[in-house]
Amino acid sequence: MFQSTVASAAIVGSAAYLAGYAHTAATDRPPMLQVALIGASGHASDVLSLIESLNRDAPAEHYSHCRVVGLFHSDPASMDSRRFEDRDVEVLALDTLVGLAAEMTGLRYIACVGYPSDRQDVAQSAAVVGLEPLTVVHRTAAIGTNVTLGTGVVILAQTSISPVASIGDHSYISHGALVGHDTIIGAYSSLMPGCSVSGDCIVGPGSTIGSNATVLEKIEIGAGATVGAGAVVTRNVAAGDTVVGAPAKVVSSRR
C-alpha cells in the first residue's frame, strides 16, 4: 500500500501509486476513467500529453486507462487546433459539456486554464453541473511519503514533492518544479517550470510561482500573490503582491 494520501479520483503514474492500482486479474481492473479537459490552450495540451503518457506506459490489462472525451472551450473556432492534430481528441463547445455531464455517469474533468482565478471559476461551474475533478500525476514525479494531493491537481513530469507536503485542490505543478518537505501549496496555485519552493513554506491559495523562481525555507506567500520568473524570495510576500528579482522586491500589488 502506498502511504501518501491521494484524492479518490486520481490516475497517477509514479511507481508507488501504480502499486495502489494493480489488480491480479483483468476482470478486477478498475473501469476506464472518462475525463473532459476544460480549456484548449497550451496548458490543456500539457495536461493531455500527461494523460497520453500515462495511457501509453500503463499496461491496459492491469491499470485503468483514461479517455479524454474532449477539450472544451467557449469558442473552439478561435483556438489553434494544430496543437491537437493527430492526438485523437476534439475541441468542442463548452456548452455541450452540460449535456455530456448529464449523460455520462462518472465523467471527470480537469480545469486546464492558466490563471488561478480562471481555474477557480471553472471548478465552481463544473461543480454546478455535477462533474467531479480528476487528479493526474506523471509517472516520473517523485512523490514523498505522507504527501497529500487535493482533487483536480495536475503534476507534470520530473517534479518532486517532498514528504509531508500538501498540494491544494486544482493546483498545477509544472515540469521540473520542486516542493519542499512540510510545505503547503494552497488551492488553485500554479508552480511554473523549474521553480523551487523550499521546506516549511506556506503558499496561499491562487498564487503563482514563476519559472525557475526560488522561495527560501519557512517563507509565507500570501493568497493570490505572484512571484516573477527567476526571483529569489527571501522574505514573506503579502497577499496579492507581485515580486521580482533577487532578492525579490514588490513591483505591484492588488491589495
Ligand X SMILES: CC(C)(COP(=O)(O)OP(=O)(O)OC[C@H]1O[C@@H](n2cnc3c(N)ncnc32)[C@H](O)[C@@H]1OP(=O)(O)O)[C@@H](O)C(=O)NCCC(=O)NCCS
Residues that bind ligand X (CB under 6 A): 192-193, 210-211, 226, 228-230, 242, 244-245, 251-252
Asked about 175 being catalytic, the answer comes back as: no
Q: Which of 81/252 has CB closer to ligand X?
A: 252
Q: Which of 131/192 has CB closer to ligand X?
A: 192
Q: Where are the beta strands (DSSP E) in 63-134?
A: 66-73, 91-93, 108-111, 132-133
What is the nearest approach in angstroms of ligand X to the Cβ of residue 79?
18
Q: C-alpha distances in angstroms, 118 versus 28, 121, 217?
A: 38, 5, 29
Sheet containing strand 108-111, edge to edge, reads 91-93, 66-73, 33-38, 108-111, 132-133
What is the nearest approach in angstroms of ligand X to the Cβ of residue 114?
8
CB–CB of 143/125 below 8 Å? Answer: no
The distance between the two most distant Cα atoms of the chain, rounded to a whole number of Å, is 58
What is the nearest approach in angstroms of ligand X to the Cβ of residue 37?
18
Q: Identify how many contiguous H helices and E strands the chain contains and give both numbers.
A: 4, 26
The dihedral over CA atoms of 203, 208, 210, 214, expressed in degrees to the nearest 10, equals -10
Cell 514528504 found at: 163
What is the nearest approach in angstroms of ligand X to the Cβ of residue 230?
5
Catalytic residue among 138, 170, 175, 181: 181
Q: Which of 123/209 has CB closer to ligand X?
A: 209
What is the nearest approach in angstroms of ligand X to the Cβ of residue 251?
5
Q: Which of 145/252 has CB closer to ligand X?
A: 252
Q: Which residue is nearest to ligand X (CB)?
A: 228
Sheet containing strand 184-185, edge to edge, reads 5-6, 148-149, 166-167, 184-185, 202-203, 220-221
Q: Which of 76/193 has CB closer to ligand X?
A: 193
What is the nearest approach in angstroms of ligand X to the Cβ of residue 213?
7
Cβ-Cβ contacts under 8 Å for 121 (sequence gap 6 or more): none
Q: Which of 69/177 has CB closer to ligand X?
A: 177
N- to C-terminal Cα separation, the chain: 45
d(CA 122, CA 127): 9
Residues marked active site are found at: 181
